[in-house]
Amino acid sequence: MPEADGTLGKKVFIETYGCQMNLADSELMGGVLADTGYSSAESLEEADVILINTCAVRERAEDRVFGRLSHLLRFKNDKPELVLGVTGCMAEHLRDKITDQAPYVDLVIGPDAYRRLPALLDKATGEARDPVIDVKLDKAEVYEGLTPKRKPGVGGWVTVQRGCDKFCTFCIVPFVRGRERGVPPHEILRQVENLAERGYKEVTLLGQTVNSYRYEDVDFADLLEQIVPIEGIERIRFTSPYPTDFTPKLIETIARHDKICNYLHLPAQSGSNRMLDEMRRQYTREEYDQLVDDIRAAVPDIALSTDIIVGFPGETEEDFEQTMELMESTRFDFAYLFKYSERSNTYASRNLPDDIDEEVKGERLKKIIALQESISAEVFKSKVGGTYTVLVEGESRRDPNELCGRTGDFKTVVFPKADGRDIEAGDLVDVKVTDCTSHTLLGELA
Ligand code: SAH
Ligand code: F3S
């Protein structure tokens, strides 16, 4: 029920930058606001409130938001009562810079303040013309009892863990998202059951180091066991696991249940032990390789992806070659490849000079992207001729006569609709793969 008449009929537009956790948080904010009488704006033009949910993980992400804010100023000029807010990690990281550089921003709120969003918006709409700021981190907040406002679709996200305690030396996440905390299992089950009731077929469990999940005596493998029986949910995914938080029990759980998808994102960051140590990643190259071997032994057809940072302080050609070698030997299905970006507050920013030339970083990035592109192309080609179960997501963007969906191992498949077969989003169908590009499989209904 709407709490205050003032919010009735007001429309909010939420724009999201960054990771899946941010997309999930935007849905959470949408839910909180819907409960207080706000509805979703279809466009920026019709919005009474615009919220930019931001990422702070690399400098470029923050630069983009500043660019976006100066663009949005025109909407404020056209409609002075418009409330413009910055939420999420960058609000936490750069509240002063935001209010200095974009003084027209009305609201700056961090990732633990979303429960207070309606009250903060009321305050921002009131007389006060100073920006309303709430960046308090709260080591207990897991947003229990709130129901996100999800877009209709075949898959939904459920956050099972917030924050991060690992403090990798390059990473800002522990500073902007606070301490690691698990969502109680009964709340996670409520969320997944809610997805199933509403017709979603797939759930992706989210956490910064999702497999370190623990709530009282329930660990991540136990949590998966509790989710598997939920009827209607056909596929379970999770991201991102942290390499040293895999247990034999978890690997065995993944292997035993068909519903748990045969795809894992396994951030490696580097192939050099010296860099891994400086990054404080808690594993060696050998331990990472062993983990990949153990996972592949248990789930032979599993697809793997990774995150890599090139140009970390002190990275020599030799360190970089070891990362190239890791990519060649592991043969990830795909990879997210980044140039090191110094982030204030982190151990690296305080102790390790950002000493790799921008040009060298750029060259290394180009080299590793080229290598991964060729590996991805080979991996995708190896799928041609096989038949895979695809969860249909809808019509392909290119052609309304085609459908698209994902395989269990997270590859996009595009295939023509078939005469006489009424296939809809949410259906599981077998598709024979006949061709591919380096990022998409092409096929026909089997
Ligand atoms: N544990 C999280 C990581 C979040 S950050 C997860 O896997 O979901 C996502 C990725 O961004 C990291 O794995 C890392 O590769 C990259 N990253 C983080 N901090 C960075 C920095 N300072 N510079 C460049 N890349 C960074
Ligand atoms: Fe960042 Fe390392 Fe946690 S990359 S999110 S500090 S696991």
Mutation probe of ligand 2 site: the residue of 89, 161, 173, 279 with most atoms within 8 A of C-beta: 173
Do the bridges between strand 214-215 and strand 334-339 make them parallel or antiparallel, or are there none, so unpaired? unpaired
How many other CB atoms are found less than 10 A from the CB of residue 136? Answer: 13
Cβ(333)–Cβ(411) below 8 Å: yes
Report the pLDDT value the prediction gives residue 51, as an integer from 0 to 100. 98
d(CA 12, CA 249): 44
CA 123 to centroid of ligand 1, rounded, Å = 34
CA of 144 to the centre of ligand 1 (A): 26
pLDDT digits (tens, 9 = 90+) for 330-375: 999 999 999 999 999 999 999 999 999 999 999 999 999 999 999 9
> What pLDDT, on the 0 to 100 scale, is given for residue 126?
75
State how beta strands 202-206 and 155-159 pair.
parallel
Tell me, what's the pLDDT at 47? 96
Residue 3: pLDDT band (50, 70, 90) is very low
- What's the gap in Å between 379 CA and the centre of ligand 1? 25
In sequence order, what are the residues at sequence separation of 6 or more whose Cβ sits closer than 8 angstroms to the Cβ of residue 382? none
Comparison of pLDDT for 6 and 193, the residue scoring more: 193
pLDDT of residue 405: 97
Contact (CB, 8 A) for 156 and 195: yes
Residues with CB under 6 A from ligand 1: 57-58, 170-171, 173, 208-209, 240, 267, 269, 307, 309, 338, 340-341, 343
DSSP state letters, 348-397: HHHHS---S-HHHHHHHHHHHHHHHHHHHHHHHHTTTT-EEEEEEEEE-S
What is the band of 299 on the pLDDT scale with cuts at 50, 70, 90?
very high
CA dist., res. 211 & res. 242, Å (int): 7
Q: Band of the pLDDT at 7, cuts 50, 70, 90?
A: low
Whose C-alpha lies nearest to ligand 1, atom 12?
Answer: 307
Dihedral Cα 279, 285, 291, 296, nearest 10 deg: 120
Verify whether ligand 2 is closer than 6 Å to residue 174 (CB atom).
yes
Model pTM? 0.96
User: What is the pLDDT, as a whole number, of residue 421?
Assistant: 84
Count of residues making up the chain: 446
Share of residues in the chain with pLDDT > 90 (%): 93
How far is residue 367 from each of residues 11, 269, 313, 327, 329, measured CA to CA in Å? 46, 16, 18, 12, 16
The CA distance from 25 to 158, in Å, is 10
Over residues 301-334, the pLDDT tens digits come to: 999 999 999 999 999 999 999 999 999 999 999 9
Tell whether ligand 2 has an atom less than 6 A from the beta carbon of residue 173.
yes
Q: Answer whether residue 442 shows pLDDT above 50.
A: yes
Looking from the CA of residue 336, the nearest atom of ligand 1 is 15
pLDDT band at 414 (very low <50, low <70, confident <90, very high): very high
Give the ligand 1 atom nearest the CA of 342.
22
Task: For each of the domains in the chain, give its residue range(s) and CATH number, in order of start.
Answer: 11-134 (3.40.50.12160), 155-381 (3.80.30.20), 387-445 (2.40.50.140)
From residue 44, give the alpha-carbon distance in Å to each of 14, 63, 149.
Answer: 9, 21, 18
Instruction: Judge whether residue 254 has pLDDT over 90.
Output: yes
Share of the chain above pLDDT 70, in %: 98
**128 confidence band (pLDDT: 50, 70, 90):** low
Confidence of residue 83 (pLDDT cuts 50, 70, 90): very high
Q: In this structure, which amino acid lies at residue 242? A: Y
pLDDT at 2: 41
Mean of pLDDT values over 374-391 = 97
Residues at the binding site for [4Fe-4S] cluster are 19, 55, 89, 164, 168, 171
